[in-house]
Amino acid sequence: RGIPREPGARWTEPGCQSCTCQGGQVLCDTVSCFIPCSHPLPAPAGGCCPTCTGCLHEGVARAEGDVFSPSDGNCTVCVCLAGNVSCLSPECPPGSCPSPSPADCCSCNPEKCNFRGRTYAHGARFSLDGDDCTTCVCQGGEVECSFTPCPMLDCPQHQRHLGPGQCCSTCRDPPAPAGCFLDDNGVEFPVGQIWSPGDPCELCICQADGSVSCQRTDCVETCPYPIHIPGQCCPDCSAG
């Protein structure tokens, strides 16, 4: 371009060409830009590379440190830092939802659920008709259901009971015993019955809980000529 250059000199030509003078020749390459940010500003006048001294967000140039809301609102707040845009959305408590109103971001009414011809409020829990083991909940217009498995029961079928509104059957308490059943001889005694199990010195009684309580009688022989009578525990001393 009619401008003499010293050997080894470097300069920039229009069109972002980086040129150097080597051995009497001019060698040019396109400028390669390293951009260490996500929302750089366009290159300034006369420059080749975008700059991270501000942010370009949704077509709007933002200065370093600017705090702003995006075009869709919804109470989201963004900040421009070193060419990067970071945004924070409001955290609303359960039972509320984001609102486009900047005055109160969490004041809108949650969406209701329409499920099998019925309408449920947000947060409502309900069971399916005829299936108490499936529980559903309405969350933001969507219904989520979960199934409750029932535990294994160790009682016979005739002792199982399913109450109204219950999901799983439970074992009934076994009926109270009506007496005491002795496995050794197959005899059943009513509660309160007293008997001797074969030894006249031992008496047993049938308890209310179906158990048997027995007690022995100790005889004190004080006569020189005791008479042992069959079926009687202690000897007869009437003979002297």
- Quote helix, strand, coil % in the chain, to nearest 5: 0, 35, 60
Span 15-40, average pLDDT: 88
pLDDT band at 108 (very low <50, low <70, confident <90, very high): low
**Fold (topology level) of 177-234:** Complement Module; domain 1 (2.10.70)
- Quick: pLDDT tens for 175-188: 766 788 776 566 78
**Chain centroid, CA 16 distance in Å:** 59
More confident residue, 202 or 177: 202
Span 82-107, average pLDDT: 67
More confident residue, 191 or 187: 191
pLDDT of residue 61: 94
- Quick: pLDDT tens for 47-58: 888 999 999 999
pLDDT of residue 240: 57
Residue 100 clears pLDDT 60, i.e. is over it: no
Is 13:28 a contact under the CB 8 Å cutoff?
A: yes
**CATH architecture of the domain formed by 1-32:** Ribbon (2.10)
pLDDT of residue 99: 47
CA 204, CA 195: separation in Å to the nearest integer?
5
pLDDT of residue 239: 66
pLDDT band at 14 (very low <50, low <70, confident <90, very high): confident
pLDDT of residue 51: 93
- Percent of the chain predicted with pLDDT > 70: 86
Residue 222 clears pLDDT 80, i.e. is over it: no
Span 131-152, average pLDDT: 86
DSSP E strands: which ranges in 70-211? Answer: 77-81, 84-88, 113-115, 118-120, 125-128, 131-139, 142-147, 160-161, 170-171, 179-181, 188-190, 194-195, 202-206
CA 197, CA 70: separation in Å to the nearest integer?
95
pLDDT of residue 56: 94
Residue 170 clears pLDDT 70, i.e. is over it: yes
- Percent of the chain predicted with pLDDT > 90: 20
pTM, entire model: 0.36
pLDDT of residue 80: 96
Span 144-164, average pLDDT: 86
pLDDT of residue 92: 64
pLDDT of residue 65: 93
pLDDT of residue 46: 77
pLDDT of residue 238: 74
Report which DSSP code applies to 37.
Answer: S
